[in-house]
Amino acid sequence: MNKSDLIKAIAEDAGITQTTASAALDATTSIISQELADGGEVQLIGFGTFKTAERSARTGRNPKTGEAIEIAAKTVPTFTAGKTLKDRVNHH
C-alpha cells in the first residue's frame, strides 16, 4: 500500500473526502516527525510507540574496496509495535 492507497482507505473508512484524509495524514506524519526531532516520543496505545535511539559511532567496511571507514554516531527513529498490533498481525 502506498500513500495514495492509504489516503483512499482512510477517506472511505472515516467517511471523509480524500482531500481531508490527505490533510489529516500529512498533519499526523508532520507532528510525529517534529516530536521525534525535538527528542520526544509519540505513543499510540494499542498501535505502537515512535521514538528515537542513539546509534554509536563504529568502524565499517567499504564493500567495494574493503577499506575501513568510520561511521559517525547518529540519532535514528524507531518504532515499537504495541500488543494489539502484534496480536492482530499474528492472528490474521
pLDDT means per 10 residues, the chain with 92 residues, are 98 98 98 97 97 96 93 96 95 78
Which residues sit opposite 58 in a β-bridge? 71
pTM across the whole model: 0.81
Distance CA 48, CA 36 (A): 14
Which residues sit opposite 78 in a β-bridge? 51
pLDDT at 11: 98
Query: φ, ψ for residue 22 (rounded to 5)?
Result: -65, -45
pLDDT at 72: 95
Check if the beta carbon of residue 7 is closer than 8 Å to that of residue 16: no
pLDDT at 92: 67
Determine the length of the chain: 92
Please enumerate in sequence order all residues whose Cβ is within 8 A of that of 33, keeping only pairs 6 or more positions apart, or say none: none
Check if the beta carbon of residue 32 is closer than 8 Å to that of residue 42: yes
